Amino acid sequence: MRNHNKDFCYGFASKRCCNSALNAETEAAIEALRCASLRGYSKIEMESDSKVLIDNIKGNVCTKAWTILPLLDEIRRLSARFSDVEWCWIPRGANRAAHVTAAIGLRAVCPQGWANQPPPSLVRVLASDGLPSPP
């Protein structure tokens, strides 16, 4: 999670049992919305490299991703907590930090959270992507 200056301010990873990559992406979006709500944010920008997820959230249900329909209802319910939520698709290559975080979650015995200071492996990815990261 980043603040308005694009600085890292919070991260979270946990092991989840999902039946597909789309389901995992949707669960991650739900967890991010919950986290942003708990931290008191009112305007947020959500990014995902899953075009199917972003299209479905924006109302383009012609992608026939019926397996995530109940989760989309939860996303809409949680999104109502914010004054503004912008959903953006980004290419997979520009989303390496999310994939490093997912790998951390897969190895984790219990949920991992980072306030202000992500693990070194994630700091390296943020820095190599040219994004602001903690020292």
- Evaluate whether 24 touches 15 at the Cβ level (below 8 Å): no
Q: Is residue 46 pLDDT above 70, yes or no?
A: yes
Q: For residue range 15-27, list pLDDT tens digits in order.
A: 667 778 888 889 9
Largest Cα–Cα distance of the chain, in whole Å? 44
Domains of the chain, by residue range, sit at: 10-128
| CA-atom Rg of the chain in angstroms | 15
Q: For residue range 105-120, list pLDDT tens digits in order.
A: 666 656 666 666 676 7
DSSP string, 29-82: HHHHHHHHHHTT-SEEEEEES-HHHHHHHTT-GGG--GGGHHHHHHHHHHHTTS
List the CATH code of the domain at 10-128: 3.30.420.10
